[in-house]
Amino acid sequence: MRVLLMAYGSRGDVEPLVAVAARLRDLGVDVRMCTPPDFAELFDSVGLPLVPIGEPVRPFVKGVLTGKTQAPAEGLPARAAAMTATTYEAVVTAAEGCDVILATGLLPAAAGARTAAEHLGIPYVFVACFPAYLPSPHHPPFERPGRPFPPGVTDNRALWDLDTETMNDLFGTGLNAHRATVGLPPVARFRDYVLTDRPWLAADPVLSPWLEPADLDVVQTGAWFRADDRPLPADVEAFLQAGEPPVYVGFGSIPMRDADGVARAAVEAVRARGRRVLLSRGWADLAVADDQDDCFAVGEANHHALFPRVAAVVHHGGAGTTTTAALAGAPQVVVPQMADQPYWACRVAGLGIGAAHDGPNPTYESLSAVLGVALAPETRVRAAAVAETIRTDGAAVAAKLLLDQVG
């Protein structure tokens, strides 16, 4: 059996597929990967073959989120159409001889993957790592770039109907134009085509439950954790052993408009609480502004080994970081920037395992306030209790489901 796993997006979209790929290989399945070329080193490290999709995404994402390139709403339909076509070209080649395609990440890319599956006549599965991609009366969609919700409209079903129209406008025309070039008929509803009527949800049922009744037949597998036994770098290990547990600060694959200001505010706020700081560089290129020994900057590190040893995790609210911190029992401060991140901020605060920062631009004062919540003894007790409920078998469940999909 041969499976193609496709993700177009950031590290948080790609990393879960590595977990499923490992499980599939254990079952004797031949696995191929299709992602942007940014993650070639990751796949090399685990021995997975990569067919790259287009150009690296990091420079473009950094340019948009830091305001150095055009705003996200400008030219979005054209960029989405190009993403669909580029993904189709990569996937239709990589999936030759495959039995099933599983796709996640940005929806225009997933549309290209489904079109490739349709062209090849093989099954296609879409997986979301958070519920806000999936229509439900229990939560709203997130706003699309340049398309704010109309004032006064709060009913979730009405908002999802608007989202259907928005996605047809932004993405559907480009998809159908591409389909015409490969001899396939147009689709009427872009979102329904990409998601299918039975999407998967790779999220923990305690941290991120799928509520019934709902319009879709959603299969919730649990979060997909990569088995990662890498030791921490020697310099990180030395810093951890040199004092009390530090506060981790990192924003993953999210560049920041004022990275220096954010790093400075975070370090000062953590120090004011009498804590040391472990600063993750990430795509924001966060850096330590002084040479004091209570602050250390780290690059790539195994979060599963690191998070159980920190006092709190301050982060952007990506699905993977949120879930890994929850599994570690580490209190969290979520500073949401975009997309699903406000959802995760609300879940962390609602569960009592941390605090949600108000908005994407942290200051010394605002971080001081939410750190007070996260570092409170009762928050750590609650985080430890929730950690005991987090499932770790999601990747194994997904691998078995994929085998069943083909069989």
* pLDDT tens by residue, 285-299: 888 888 899 999 998
d(CA 274, CA 379): 17
- Residue 129, pLDDT > 90, answer yes
> What CATH superfamily classification does 2-225+392-406 receive?
Glycogen Phosphorylase B; (3.40.50.2000)
Residue 9: its pLDDT value, please?
Answer: 87
* Residues with Cβ within 8 Å of residue 202, at least 6 apart in sequence: 16, 104, 127, 128, 129, 221, 222, 223, 224, 394, 398
- Residue 185, pLDDT > 70, answer yes
319 touches 12 (CB < 8 A): yes
34 touches 90 (CB < 8 A): yes
- Residue 377, pLDDT > 60, answer yes
Q: State the amino acid at position 257 in one-letter form.
A: R
Residue 70: its pLDDT value, please?
Answer: 52
Residue 338 CB burial class (10 angstroms; 0-12, 13-18, ≥19)? middle
Average pLDDT, the chain: 92
Please report, for the chain, how many H helices and E strands are present, in that order.
16, 13
Pick the range with the lowest mean pLDDT from 14-23, 98-107, 250-259: 250-259
* Residues with Cβ within 8 Å of residue 131, at least 6 apart in sequence: 139, 201, 203, 208, 210, 343
Mean pLDDT of 241-267: 91
Instruction: Look at residues 248, 251, 247 and name the one whose alpha carbon lies nearest to residue 315.
Output: 251
Instruction: Look at residues 265, 208, 212 and name the one whose alpha carbon lies nearest to residue 391.
Output: 208
CATH of domain 234-387: 3.40.50.2000
Question: What is the CB-side half-sphere exposure of residue 314 using CA atoms within 13 A?
Answer: 32
Global pTM reads 0.93
* CA 267 distance to own-chain centroid: 25
Mean pLDDT of 125-145: 92
The backbone torsions φ and ψ at residue 111, rounded to the nearest 5 degrees and listed phi first, read: -60, -40
- Residue 69, pLDDT > 90, answer no
Q: How many CB atoms lie within 10 A of CB 78?
A: 11
d(CA 69, CA 226): 34
373 touches 273 (CB < 8 A): no
Pick the range with the lowest mean pLDDT from 36-50, 82-96, 205-219, 375-389: 36-50
350 touches 328 (CB < 8 A): no
β-partners of residue 34 are 6, 51
Q: How many CB atoms lie within 10 A of CB 230?
A: 11
d(CA 297, CA 202): 31
CA distances, 43 to each of 10, 18, 32, 128 (Å): 14, 8, 10, 21
H helix runs in 207-248, sequence order? 234-241
Residue 338: its pLDDT value, please?
Answer: 85
Residue 151 CB burial class (10 angstroms; 0-12, 13-18, ≥19)? exposed
User: What confidence tier does 72 reach under pLDDT thresholds 50, 70, 90?
Assistant: low
User: What confidence tier does 62 reach under pLDDT thresholds 50, 70, 90?
Assistant: low
* CA 233 distance to own-chain centroid: 24
C-alpha dihedral sign at 309, 310, 311, 312: negative
The boundaries of every CATH 3.40.50.2000 domain in the chain are: 2-225+392-406, 234-387
Strands (E), 19-169: 30-35, 50-52, 100-105, 124-128
d(CA 91, CA 87): 6
Residue 258: its pLDDT value, please?
Answer: 86
User: What confidence tier does 55 reach under pLDDT thresholds 50, 70, 90?
Assistant: confident
Mean pLDDT of 360-389: 97
User: pLDDT > 70: what percent of the chain?
Assistant: 96
Mean pLDDT of 213-240: 94
Residue 322: its pLDDT value, please?
Answer: 97
